Every structure is written in structure tokens, then in C-alpha cells.
Amino acid sequence: MIRATLFFLLPALAQASALIDPDLKSLTGKATVVVSLQAIETEQTITKYERENVVSSLKNTSEHSLRLFKDELAAAKISVQDVQLLYSFWINNTAALEVSPKGLKQIAHFSSIRKIYKDRLVGFSQPSVDENSVEALATPYPYDFAETGLDKVIANRPELTGKGVIIGSVDTGIFGSHPMLKGKIVKFY
């Protein structure tokens, strides 16, 4: 039986204020921000990896964190003109808010908020695409295949070419025009 323990650690609530994105320091009008909410301290044991258990745990944590934020917002009697909840995201325990400069100053001292980020568009440049990238891979291999054991797979099972297999990666940190990825990207969405 595989046992895993998930911990959601609660940073010290004695924190004087949330960390604020430097781009928000000179806010003059309303802005959309994303707040990272404090997570409750809990220990949940999962006897084996089950998607439903992980999702349930994340949703419960997010619901509790959001409830604490809403309670703090109500207790502070902040006008909806100064802070308005737009969306909440259970997957990463965050919420999007529309705030005025006054509202930003008020929520910066909430114990239910860890960080406040300016919401901004994320751009990327379209990387070069090589439709024949699978066929472009030939000996010598561009990576250390021996370290991963792929050299043995290729030697012992030459029929496993990978042709027709598409490997996807969803990662906001990929730099698609990096020289190491040149000719390796079949399609970019």
C-alpha cells in the first residue's frame, strides 16, 4: 500500500501585510489583481493516488481559504467599489479581484492573503515549428540517452521509433524559441 501525506502549511499569521507586486505600489485607478490565499494547516492521508481525493482536498482547502477571506472582507466593511471578488481558482488557492487603490491598501493587511499580484497578459513568441521533427532525430542523439536508458531501448527494440507519437507538455515556463527546442516542436497551441 502506498501512503502519501499532503501538508498545507499556514505561514505565520503575524505577518504585517501581504507581499505586494511592485507594479501595484503606484496604483492610481482600479486594477485587476490575483491574490494568493493562506492555506489552512491540515494533514490528509491518501492511501493511494486517486485524482478524486486530490481534487477534493484542493477544493476543500480553497473553499476554506476563500471563506476566511470573505469573512475578513465583511468584517472590514470594505465597499464593493473598493474590492470586488471576480473569480476564485481552487486549483491553486487564488482569487481574482478588482481593487481600487484604497481597497488594495485595506486588503494588504488581511491575514487571509499571502501575496497580491497585478493581473497581466502573458505573451509569448511563436517558436519555429518543424513538421518532420521526429524524423530529424538521428544518431548521434542530441541528449544523453544512455543516462535514461533509451540507448538500450533503441538497440534492443528498433521497431519502437516513436513515429506517430505526440508528446505534449503544458508548462507556462517553456521558452519555445530556446535553441535546445529548435526543430523539436511539432505544434504549438
**Segment 9-68, tens digit of pLDDT:** 333 333 446 788 888 888 899 999 999 998 876 666 655 567 787 788 888 889 999 999
Confidence of residue 132 (pLDDT cuts 50, 70, 90): low
The pLDDT value recorded for residue 133 is: 54
Instruction: Report how far residue 47's alpha carbon sits from residue 27's, in angstroms, rounded to the nearest whole number.
Output: 48
Name the residue with higher pLDDT: 51 or 86: 86
Give the whole-number percent of the chain exceeding pLDDT 70: 63
30 and 105 Cβ atoms separated by less than 8 Å: no
Tens-place pLDDT, residues 157-186: 888 777 777 666 666 666 677 777 777 766
Please give the mean pLDDT across all residues of the chain: 75
Which whole-number Å values give the CA distances from 156 to 138, 153, 159, 160, 181, in the listed order? 17, 5, 9, 9, 27
Q: How far is 82 from 88, CA to CA, in rounded Å?
A: 18
Residue 8 pLDDT: 35
Tell me the CB-side half-sphere exposure of residue 102, using CA atoms within 13 A: 8
pLDDT of residue 116 exceeding 60, the answer is yes
pLDDT at 149 over 90: no
Q: How far apart are CA 66 and CA 76, in angstroms?
A: 15
Residue 16 carries which DSSP code? S
Question: How many other CB atoms are found less than 10 A from the CB of residue 167?
Answer: 8
The more confident residue out of 178 and 112 is 112
**Is the predicted pLDDT of residue 1 greater than 60, yes or no?**
no
d(Cα 120, Cα 173) in Å, to the nearest integer? 16
Q: Which of 105, 94, 96 is nearest to 16 (CA)?
A: 105
pLDDT score for 178: 74
